[in-house]
């Protein structure tokens, strides 16, 4: 692997937006690490991409398991010694028709574990690889449903709260990191996928394209921002 080839990792990279992100990063010259909790599916998708000469490898990582995250970070450190781009894409949307006060609390807890704490622990594990080189791009896949202005309507409370917390995490980490390390949140829109459903108007490819510009921004680029299609959103 050439020393100047950037290394990117995408969580939940075996399907939907994650798969498209992996594919598009590889097409743009990145060495891409596809992270998935399902080793069989992850290996299968990785092999499929390798067959068309895309530089993709697989690492098992369950964002709901801190030990799994630590092991994945160790593998990446030992194999590559760096990480240039981290895209926190893995997430769940479990409560479309549930009300916050009447749902089983375990649904809220599980949603927060994946969508918020999972991202928190992944960043903690991989940020040292960026800090030692003074360079990194972290992209948190969020949602406009997590904007504070969207909290006055009912429905999908667990999902909304998890993305609200993720947006806050993005801003707080942006205030803490030093060097040319940028972290931003992005809303991909309503995407036709396992999560978004078949009636969603936006394709995973279009969603991926709306995210990837943040992976290649220069030192003058934004940090601590919230974007959709390249336009900044209000928190």
In the residue annotation, 159 being an active-site residue is answered as yes
Give CA 171 to chain center in angstroms.
15
Q: Are 40 and 60 in contact (CB under 8 A)?
A: no
Q: Which of these is catalytic: 19, 93, 135, 159?
A: 159
Measuring CA to CA, how many Å separate 69 from each of 93, 118, 127? 21, 9, 12
3-state DSSP assignment of residue 151 = coil
Residues whose CB falls within 8 Å of the CB of residue 2, separated by 6 or more in sequence, listed in order: none
By C-alpha distance, which of 95, 67, 68 is closest to 11? 68
Residues whose CB falls within 8 Å of the CB of residue 82, separated by 6 or more in sequence, listed in order: 7, 129, 130, 132, 133
By C-alpha distance, which of 33, 29, 30, 38 is closest to 9? 33
Q: Which residues are catalytic?
A: 159
């Amino acid at each position: 692997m050439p020393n100047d080839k950037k290394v990117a990792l995408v969580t939940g990279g075996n399907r939907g937006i994650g798969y498209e992100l992996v594919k598009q990063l590889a097409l743009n010259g990145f060495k891409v690490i596809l992270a998935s909790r399902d080793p069989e599916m992850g290996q299968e998708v990785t092999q499929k991409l390798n067959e068309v000469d895309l530089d993709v490898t697989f690492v098992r990582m369950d964002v709901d398991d801190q030990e799994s995250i630590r092991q994945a970070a160790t593998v990446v450190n030992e194999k590559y010694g760096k990480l240039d781009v981290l895209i926190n894409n893995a997430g769940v949307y479990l409560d479309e028709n549930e009300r916050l006060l009447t749902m089983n609390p375990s649904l809220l807890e599980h949603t927060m574990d994946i969508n918020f704490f999972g991202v928190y622990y992944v960043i903690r594990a991989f940020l040292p690889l960026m800090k030692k080189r003074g360079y990194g791009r972290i992209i948190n896949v969020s949602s406009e449903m997590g904007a504070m202005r969207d909290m006055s309507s009912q429905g999908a409370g667990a999902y909304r709260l998890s993305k609200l917390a993720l947006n806050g995490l993005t801003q707080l980490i942006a205030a803490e990191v030093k060097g040319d390390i940028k972290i931003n949140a992005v809303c991909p829109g309503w995407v036709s996928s396992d999560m978004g459903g078949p009636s969603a108007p936006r394709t995973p490819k279009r969603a991926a394209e709306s995210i990837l510009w943040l992976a290649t921004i220069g030192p003058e680029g934004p940090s601590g921002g919230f974007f959709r299609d390249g336009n900044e959103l209000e928190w």
